[in-house]
Amino acid sequence: MIGKIKNFFSRNDNPLVSKNIRFSYADEDVLKDINLVTKKNKIYSIIGKSGSGKSTFLKLIAGVISKKHRGKIRIFGKHRFLNKNSFGFVSQEPGFIPDLSIENNIKISGLNYGISEKKALERAKDLMGQLKLNIDIDRKPMDLSGGQKTRLGIILSILHDPRMIILDEPFVGLDFKNRWLLWRFLENKRKEGKSILLTSHLLTEIQEHADKIIILKDGKVFFKGQLEKLKNKLNMNYIYEVRFSWLAQSKWEKLKNYCNKKNGVDIIEKYEKHCVFSLKSEEVKKKLDKKFKTIGLKDNIINFREPNLDEIFLKT
């Protein structure tokens, strides 16, 4: 009891603390039991299959969904309604006022955060420079290209220079160069001491830029941490791609029996004579090669390498 009270009063400065979050739109629970604490000054990326509830979770944190949920959400130690100026939420839909000019959109968004119109314009100009967005602000937002809209949407949501930036699929519709630019932008923000929480399907880029990965699965946090940890958890330190010259059904059955957790081998994909295995260690590879011989399979190695996030993701 005392501990609880202490906890209550102790200043918890984690950007996000969510405990036992349970939520449903209708009957079925979208989020079943989400427990997630993020640390300051890091880029967190949430991944998960389409429909796994990533957007729902972010909207819940940001207070966009006001339907009742179970569990506790704290942003920098406070209820989100009391701490709106500490985070900026970039939703999947940019949320412009289409009938007003970009300039007025900036001013209104600034006012929403309680910033003066002049200051909002200054901040927007600065951010536009950082995101290399050269547009005429007298135009209407709907005149912009998809990528320009995305970047403007981000700018409008962080005019108040929040400590945490929450982005829902910010890379959709951006070409490679702009994605790279946005990653750089987010990394710079991290350098400035901001905390970032985003969702994306671009696993390769996440692998490269994010500090920590959060995998949502079945309404729960399936995994949180660095990639290495996930590989270990999944027994998946190497990828072994093999093409057989001939693969009869009976031999395939034998091979399938061999591939299990005990032997440290897992089949990720099979397409005709082409198989992709995940292996726990280099040791396992030698054993597997032997097995090929005993079964009587002639192999033609294509690749033996470390897995990428796409492959890891496929396995979850």
Partner 1 sequence: MLKKKIKFPLRYGRKFYGHLKKDLMLFYNRKKYLYIFLIFPILIAGLFLFLLSPTTASMRVGVCDLDQTPETQDMLTDLDDFDIVLLENENCTENLKNSIMEGKFELGLKIPNGFTENIENLEQASLITYHDNTDIALSRMVSWKMDSSLNPYRRSIIDGLNEELKQRISVARQSIDTAEQLTGGSGPLHEKIIEIDRDLERIEELDTDFIVNPIKTDSRGLHHELSMKYISIAFLYPIITLFLILMLASISIIYDDKTGFITRVKTSTTVLTYIFSKILFFFILSAIVFALFFGIFLLAGASLTFNLMEVVKLIFFVSITNSLIGMLIGNVAENEGIAILMSLFISFPLMLLSGLFFPLQNMPYIVQRVVEVLPLHLQIEATKSVILFNQHLGMTLLYLNVPLLLFTVYFIRRNI
Ligand X SMILES: Nc1ncnc2c1ncn2[C@@H]1O[C@H](COP(=O)(O)OP(=O)(O)OP(=O)(O)O)[C@@H](O)[C@H]1O
Determine which residue in the list 18, 38, 45, 55 makes contact with ligand X, applying CB under 6 A.
Answer: 55
**Is residue 240 classed as helix, strand or coil in its secondary structure?**
strand
Contact 162, 86 (CB under 8 A): yes
Contact residues for partner 1 (CB under 8 A)?
Answer: 62-64, 66-67, 81, 84-85, 87-89, 91, 93-100, 104, 107-116, 156-157, 160
Quote the CA–CA distance of 232 and 234 in Å, as a whole number. 5
CB 312, CB 237: distance < 8 Å: no
CA–CA dist 197, 59 (Å, integer)? 12
113 binds, among Mg ion, partner 1, ligand X, none (CB under 5 to 8 A by kind): partner 1
Q: Choose the contact partner of 56 out of partner 1, Mg ion, ligand X, none; CB within 5 to 8 A by kind.
A: ligand X
Closest contact distance (angstroms) between CB of 167 and partner 1 is 12
Say whether residue 55 binds Mg ion (CB under 5 A).
yes
Amino acid in the structure at residue 104? N
97 interface partner picked from ligand X, partner 1, Mg ion, none, CB below 5 to 8 A per type: partner 1
Nearer to partner 1, 108 or 135 (CB): 108
**Residue 25 makes contact with ligand X by CB under 6 A:** yes
Out of 38, 45, 52, 148, the only residue in the binding site for ligand X (CB under 6 A) is: 52
State CA 216 to chain mean position distance.
9
| 54 touches ligand X (CB under 6 A) | yes
Contact status, residue 11 vs residue 76, Cβ threshold 8 Å: no
**Pair type for strands 43-47 and 164-168:** unpaired
d(C-alpha 153, C-alpha 127), whole Å = 11
CB of 85 to ligand X, least distance (A): 25
Establish if 170 lies at the interface with ligand X (CB under 6 A).
no
Q: Does 30 participate in binding ligand X (rule CB under 6 A)?
A: yes
Q: How far is the CB of 99 from partner 1 (least distance, A)?
A: 5
Of 46 and 124, which CB lies nearer to ligand X in the complex structure?
A: 46
Cβ atoms of 102 and 137 within 8 Å: the answer is yes
45 binds Mg ion (CB under 5 A): no
What are the CA-CA distances from residue 80 to residues 30, 62, 102, 292 (Å)?
Answer: 21, 7, 28, 57
Helix segments in the chain, DSSP class H: 2-9, 54-62, 102-112, 117-130, 146-157, 176-191, 203-209, 227-233, 249-258, 282-295, 309-315
Which of 78, 95, 65, 73 has its CA nearest to residue 157?
A: 95
Q: Which is nearer to ligand X, 102 or 196 (CB)?
A: 196
Number of residues binding to Mg ion, judged by CB under 5 A: 1
Among the residue ranges 49-57, 109-117, 171-179, 299-307, the one whose residues contact ligand X (CB under 6 A): 49-57
Residue closer to ligand X (CB basis): 111 or 314: 314
| Closer CB to ligand X, 23 or 277, in the complex | 23
**Where does this chain bind ligand X (CB under 6 A)?**
25, 30, 48, 50-56
